[in-house]
Chain A
Amino acid sequence: MHGVGSSTGGEINMAEMTPRERIMAVSHKKRADKLPFLHWWRHSQVGRAERECRNRGMGMCWQRPPYTMRMHGVDMTETQVLSSGEVVIRRTYSTPVGSVYLDEKSEPGVGQWHALRSWRDVLPWQTERLIKGPEDYKVLKYMVENTEYLPYYFPVEQAMDWLGDDGVVVDSLPHSPMQMLMIDWIGSEGGRFFIHHAKYPDLVEDLYKAISKSREPLYEIVAKSPAPITNFGDNIDGVLVNPKLFQKYFMPEYEKQAKVLHEHGKLMAVHMDGRVGVLKDLIAKTPIDIVEALHSPPMGDLPIGEALSLWKDKVIWTGFPGSVYILGPEAVKKHALSLLREIGSGDRLVVEMSTENLVSNENLLMLTSVLENADLPLTKEKIDGIERSLARS
C-alpha cells in the first residue's frame, strides 16, 4: 500500500503525488500515479473514517463562490407562515413592477450545520415557486436586470490556503440561465416548467435571455478567481433537459462560459448527475473540460467506460451512486471493482465518493479499500490483485 506523500514543489514525483496533484493531473488529462478519489467537503462526515480514508489517499474538494451579488431596487422580507397546514419560510421580493414570493420548507438541522443542509444532508425545498403565473415573469425580469455581481475571492483563497495539497478548491456558480427557470424559479413539480414553456414560450424565452445577459459580468469575475476549476452546478438530467432544450439553451451558454474561462487558463466543469445518455452526443460537442458527477448505472444510464470512449477530449469526475451505498459495503465493493474493470487504463477519471449525500463510515472505508491501491495505468492483473487482497482482509 502506498502512503500519501506531501508536496515538495517543483517536479512531480509520480510515486509521491498528493491528492491535489493527482486530481489536477487527471483534470488536465495527464496521467497520475493512482486513480484520484475525493470527497466533497459538504458531504463529508468529519470523524474517524474520514480521517482514516484521507490518510489512505482520499482527497478533498471544496466548492466556494468567488462572488457576491446584490439586487438594486428590490426589497426582500422573510416571514414564517402557515401554508397548507405546514410551517414554511416565506421570502417575498418587492419591486417597482410587482412582488413575488416563494415558500421554503426545511428539515431539522438547516441553519445549525453547514451549507444550508439538514442533518440528513438535504437542502430546504420550495413548496411554492417564485414564478406561479404569467404575471410573475416581469418581476423576475426586473430582479435579473437589476442584479449586480461583484468579485469576492476570499472564500476561495481561504479554502485553498486551508486545504493545501489535500485536495482542490473549485468555484461554485448558480445554475445556468435555463436551469434557473427549470429547477429554481418555475420548478419541475408536476411538469410545471414544460407547461409554462408550452403555454408562455415568449415569456420564458425573454426571461432566459435576460438572465443570460446578466451573467456575462459574472463569468468575467469567475475567470479571474484563483481556483483552477469552475463548476457550474447545473444538475443536468436528460429526462428533464431533453436534447432539444440542451441544444437550444444550454450549449450556447456553455460555449460563452468556456470562452471566458479558457482565456484565463481555467478548466470548466459542469455538474451532470442525472441520466445523460440521451445527451451523450451533444455533450461531446460542448467545450466542457470536466463532466462532473456523472453517475454510472444503476443511478445514471451511461456506463463510465462508454462515456470515456465517447468523450475523448473530456475528463470525468464520476459520482459513486447513492443507490449502491444504500445496499451496503459488499455492494459498494462489487460496484467499485466493476467500475475499475470498465475504465481501461483509468486515465481521465476521478472518483467522487458522493455528490449528493453523506456516506456511512462502513461504505466510505470499503470504497477507499478498493481505490487506494488503484495504481495507474490500471491492468486486469492489478484489479485482480485488489480483489484478492480485499477477499483476504
Chain B
Amino acid sequence: MVKEKYLASLKESIVNLDFKAVVEAAKEAMDAGIDPHTAITDGMVPGMTVVGEKFERGEYFLSELVVAGEVMKEGLKIINPYIKQDSSERLGKVVIATVEGDNHDLGKNIVTTLLGVHGFEVVDLGKDVPMDKIVDAVKEYKPEILGLSALLTVTMPEMGKVIEALKVASLRERVKVIVGGSPVTSEFAKSIGADHCAVNAAEGVRKCTEWVAPREVK
C-alpha cells in the first residue's frame, strides 16, 4: 500500500467515527514504517478537520465531534509510542479549567481535544477547580493562554475572580484569557476583563491560534 493509502485510511476512520478501523489503520501505518508525525498530521488531523467542517455545516453534531476525538485518541495510543515529543514544535501552551463549583466539562474537553489537534500543549486542570489552583498553574506552566469554562450562571462570577487574582499576582499581563460556556456572553466577558468569549469550541480554538499566529503553525 502506498503511503497515501495508509494516511487516507487513518483519515477515513476518524471521519467515519470507527474505533476498530482507526486501530487497524494505525497499526498498519506503523508496521509499514510511516513516520508517526506524518500519520498524525497528514492522516488523523485532516480527518478531524473534515469532522470540524461537517460540524460547522451542521452535518455533524457535538456527539460526532466528541466521538471523533475519542476515535483519534484510540489511534494515538498505537502511534504515540513511536514518537519522540519535542516541546519546541508546539504552537503554544494553554492552561484550561472549569471554575470552582461547576462540574460541567463537556465543552472544555472538546476545546482541549481540538487545541491538542491544532498543535497546542494543553494543561487541563479539570473541573470544579479552585481559583488558587488556576493561578498557581499559570505561575508554574507559564501558558500564553488561560481558558476558563462555566455552565452555570452562579459559577460565572468565579471567572471574574480568577482574572482579579491574576492581577493581584501580577500575572494578568502575561496571559490571554478566553472564557466560554453556554450562559457566558461577550458582554459578560468584557465586564470581567476577559480577552475573548468563545462562541463555540471551533471558534475558540481559532482565536487561540490567532493569538499565537506569529509563531509557525505546525
Contacts and interface: CB of A to CB of B under 8 A. Distances in A.
Given A107-B101, A242-B61, A299-B183, A195 B70 contact: yes
A94 interface: no
Interface in B157-186: 157, 182-185
A109 to B, nearest CB: 12
B85 interface: no
Interface in A281-302: 298-299
Contacts of A188: 104, 106
Interface stretch (B3-11, B36-44, B148-156, B202-210): B148-156
Nearest to A242: B61
Nearest to A356: B153
Contacts of A379: none
A323 B154 contact: no
Contact of A327 (B101, B182, B191): B191
A191 B67 contact: yes
Contacts of A244: 61
Given A189-B103, A190-B105, A198-B70, A274 B152 contact: no
Interface stretch (A60-68, A118-126, A173-181, A264-272): A118-126
Contact of A194 (B63, B127, B128, B154): B63
Nearest to A321: B183
A186 to B, nearest CB: 12
A323 B61 contact: no
Nearest to A188: B106
A188 B104 CA distance: 8
Nearest to B63: A194
Interface string B89-113: 0000000000001011110011000
Contact of A326 (B58, B104, B153): B153
- Contact-residue bracket for chain A: 35 or more
Contact of B106 (A127, A191, A274): A191
A198 B17 contact: yes
A195 B69 CA distance: 10
Contacts of A321: 183
Interface in A303-341: 321-323, 325-327
Interface string B102-133: 01111001100000000000000001100000
A243 interface: yes
Given A190-B105, A191-B106, A194-B63, A121 B185 contact: no
A323 B70 contact: no
Given A122-B154, A298-B185, A327-B191, A194 B103 contact: no
A125 B61 contact: no
A189 B104 contact: yes
Given A194-B62, A194-B63, A121 B154 contact: yes
A356 B109 CA distance: 24
A299 B182 contact: yes
A195 B70 CA distance: 7
Ranked nearest first, the 4 interchain pairs of A and B with the lowest CB-CB distance are A191-B66, A322-B153, A242-B61, A125-B103
Given A122-B154, A195-B66, 14 more contacts: A120-B154, A125-B103, A127-B103, A188-B104, A189-B103, A194-B66, A198-B17, A242-B63, A275-B182, A278-B58, A298-B183, A323-B188, A327-B191, A357-B153
Interface of A: 105, 107, 120-122, 125-127, 188-191, 194-195, 197-199, 237, 239-240, 242-245, 274-275, 278, 298-299, 321-323, 325-327, 356-357
17 contacts: A105-B128, A122-B101, A125-B103, A127-B103, A188-B104, A190-B105, A190-B109, A191-B106, A191-B109, A191-B110, A195-B66, A197-B63, A198-B67, A239-B62, A274-B182, A278-B58, A323-B184
